[in-house]
Structures are given as structure tokens and as C-alpha cells.
């Protein structure tokens, strides 16, 4: 009983402040490092000291650069100069499928007409508007419809209505369009490190610099000050614990806006 009471009291005690636990960056890849920088910015005081604010501004600038590099890496890189021929073929083939279904509807056949009408409602709820979208968005809409044909087992029904040659030709045009856009082509293995390594290292250095500035200002004799600093840098501690435990490192979408930095003032505000 005495041991249990002592254990309970020990759990209530604030953790020991170890500066070394906060002054190095435990994340390794762009996504988790960007996520760490975002949580640090969110946990920062609204009115930091002038020194800490300077480091926060630098951290946010480096995170912005890292984010821009990551967003740029995620964009498809066209493999051809002129995408119009690929766009034209895909447009024609989707239009042909729609026309064949409309022909079935117009025949007035009691069996085919309602089946074709259901297929049009499923694949062309907004008509052919998606063919007027920008190249990448159009491909995504085409991909969604082809995926729906597969997941809902519509291929046999569609071929029965429009003919066996239409769907294979449609898939062929879609694949060629995606390859031309650079979407379905695998990126070169060396492209990612070459494009994000420098901004990643700069962001990691900015995080470490910010942590050192915060640790350098803490009054270790002031319990409230220690608690505030530990809370401010807690994202680093949690990231280190996650990595040490071998757990999946959480990362947010790379395009989430970064928190703003507060104006300099009383860090306790």
C-alpha cells in the first residue's frame, strides 16, 4: 500500500528538466520534420522574447521553404511538351462512351434503356464537364470514374451496353494521358533527396537553434518557468519518444498552413 502511494505521488511530480532532451532534432524525413516545426510554432508563446521570436521567425521561414520544396516535389512533371493530343484522345473516348449509352437510352428498349440510364447517372452525373477541367484535374476525374467501374463491378455491364472495344481503349487513353502528365511514371529515386535535402537540413538547424534559445532563457529555479518551457518544447520530446519506441512518426498533410509568429513581448503572456 505504501509503495502504491509513493508511486502515485511520484507520478504527480513534474518531470525533471533535461535541456539536452530538447536541443537536438529527432525527426529525419521531410514530412515529420515539417510536422514538428508546425507543432512547435503552434506551441510557442504569443508574445515571446525578442531573441526567441527571432529564432521563431527563422524557423517559420525555413519551414515555409521546406513546405514549398515538398509541394513542388508532389506536383506531376509532364514527360511531353504538348499534352493536347493526349487530352484530345481521352476526351473523344469518354465522349464516345457517353454517346453509346445515350443511344441505348434513345432506342427505347425496355431492357437496355433503364440500364443505360443508370450507367449515365453513375458515370456522368455532371455530363462531360470534367473534360473541360485543367489537365491534372481532368485526369483525376477520369481516374475516379475508371476506379468506380472496377470497384462497383460495372465493367461487364458497361461493355454489354457500349461494346467490348470501348473500355479497353478508354483505359489505354487514360494511361497514356497519366504517363504524359508524369503522374503514373515513377519518380527517379535521386530526385527527392536532391530537391528537399538542403531545405530539410536548414529546417532541422532552425528547430535546434530555436530550442537552444528557449532553453537558454529558462530560470531553472522557477518551477512555473520550467513547466512553461517544457510545454513549449514538448513536441520535440514527444517526437523523440515516438522514434525511440519505434512507433510510426505522425505527419500532417504537407500543405497545411503554418502558424504565425507572435509579436515580441512578455514570453509568459
pLDDT level of residue 7 (50, 70, 90 thresholds): very low
CA atoms within 13 A on the CB side of 189: 0
pLDDT of residue 252: 60
Low-confidence winner among 1-5, 51-55, 89-93, 194-198 (lowest mean pLDDT) = 1-5
pTM value?
0.54
The pLDDT assigned to 100 comes to: 96
- What is the percent of the chain with per-residue pLDDT over 90, rounded to a whole number? 47
* 28: number of Cβ within 10 Å: 11
Render pLDDT for 141-184 as a digit per residue (tens, 0 to 9): 998 899 889 888 999 999 999 999 999 999 999 999 988 988 76
The span from the CA of 259 to the CA of 269, in Å, is: 17
Residue 93: closest CA among 22, 186, 189, 165: 165
- The answer to whether the beta carbons of residues 158 and 167 sit under 8 Å apart is yes
Confidence band, pLDDT 50/70/90 cuts, at residue 127 = very high
What is the predicted pLDDT for the residue at 75?
67
Cα separation, 34 vs 70, in Å, equals 9
* Neighbour-count burial for 195-209, b at 16+ CB within 10 Å, e otherwise: bbeebbebbbebbbb
What pLDDT is recorded for position 19? Answer: 82
Amino acid at each position: 500500500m505504501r509503495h502504491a502511494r509513493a508511486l502515485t505521488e511520484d507520478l504527480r511530480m513534474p518531470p525533471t528538466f533535461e535541456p539536452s532532451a530538447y536541443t537536438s532534432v529527432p525527426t529525419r524525413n521531410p514530412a515529420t520534420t515539417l510536422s514538428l516545426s508546425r507543432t512547435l510554432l503552434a506551441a510557442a508563446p504569443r508574445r515571446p522574447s525578442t531573441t526567441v521570436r527571432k529564432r521563431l521567425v527563422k524557423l517559420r521561414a525555413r519551414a515555409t521553404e521546406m513546405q514549398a520544396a515538398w509541394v513542388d516535389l508532389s506536383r506531376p512533371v509532364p514527360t511531353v511538351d504538348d499534352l493536347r493530343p493526349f487530352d484530345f484522345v481521352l476526351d473523344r473516348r469518354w465522349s464516345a462512351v457517353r454517346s453509346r449509352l445515350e443511344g441505348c437510352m434513345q432506342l427505347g428498349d425496355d431492357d437496355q434503356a433503364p440500364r443505360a440510364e443508370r450507367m449515365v447517372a453513375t458515370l456522368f452525373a455532371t455530363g462531360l464537364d470534367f473534360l473541360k477541367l485543367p489537365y491534372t484535374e481532368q485526369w483525376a476525374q477520369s481516374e475516379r470514374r475508371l476506379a468506380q467501374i472496377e470497384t462497383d463491378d460495372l465493367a461487364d455491364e458497361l461493355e454489354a451496353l457500349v461494346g467490348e472495344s470501348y473500355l479497353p481503349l478508354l483505359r489505354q487513353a487514360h494511361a497514356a494521358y497519366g504517363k504524359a502528365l508524369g503522374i503514373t511514371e515513377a519518380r527517379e529515386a535521386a530526385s527527392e533527396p536532391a530537391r528537399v535535402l538542403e531545405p530539410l537540413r536548414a529546417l532541422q538547424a532552425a528547430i535546434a537553434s530555436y530550442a537552444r534559445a528557449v532553453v537558454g532563457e529558462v530560470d531553472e529555479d522557477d518551477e512555473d518557468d520550467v513547466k512553461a518551457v517544457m510545454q513549449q518544447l514538448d513536441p520535440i520530446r514527444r517526437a523523440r519518444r515516438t522514434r525511440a519506441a519505434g512507433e510510426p512518426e505522425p505527419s500532417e498533410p504537407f500543405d497545411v498552413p503554418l502558424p504565425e509568429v507572435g509579436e515580441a513581448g512578455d514570453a509568459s503572456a
